[in-house]
Amino acid sequence: MSGLRASTSFPRRTLLALGLATTLPGCGFALRQTPALPFKRMALAGFDARSPLAAELRERLAPGVQVVDVPGQAEVVLQALLDKRERSVVASTAAGQVRELQLRVRLEFQLTSPGGRMLIAPTELLLRRDMSYSETAALGKAQEEAELFAAMQGDIVQQVLRRLAQVNPAARP
């Protein structure tokens, strides 16, 4: 008798799971994607030649926006006023050994038309993460630091893209 119950409850659980799986798209869940931008050509200015943030911006813009080198050929110009990664000691032992670090990624930018009309006023984005540190695990902590910087950079790029999606380059001041 108990074997019969187990066999009849299995199809019910399966049907319930399938029913829940089919309602997931209906709840509004969607993977985060690059928002649609209201322009097709953009220039990046003020970034260091090896800026990882600029590289990720170029990569994320690639599907729908052409990044050009000459600002005169662009519809909008994203100018980096400050693009910086910072690392500072927050706590140390009495012997001077580092125990905690703070990592920061800072981007200050503005968006203008090629003619100089301000589309987004100078804006600063700053992300911070605290990280414990141990000299005995220095290699692992270096990897953790790199991963935290990459995650913060991705967050900043996503914030910039959301701001860019709200711009109307054709609007008059």
Tens digit of each residue's pLDDT (9 = 90 or more) over 27-83: 666 556 667 888 999 999 999 999 999 999 999 998 889 999 999 999 999 999 999
Name every residue whose Cβ is closer than 8 Å to that of residue 80 and which is 6 or more positions away in sequence: 44, 45, 46, 47, 51, 53, 54, 107, 108, 109
Band of pLDDT at residue 22, cut at 50, 70 and 90 = low
Computed over every residue of the chain, the mean pLDDT equals: 86
Mean pLDDT value across residues 148-156: 96
pTM above 0.85, yes or no: no
Give the pLDDT of residue 35: 73
Distance CA 47, CA 6 (A): 63
* 124: Cα separation from own chain's centroid: 14
DSSP state of 69: S
Of the candidates 33, 48, 58, 52, the residue with the CA atom closest to the CA atom of residue 149 = 52
6 has pLDDT over 60:
no
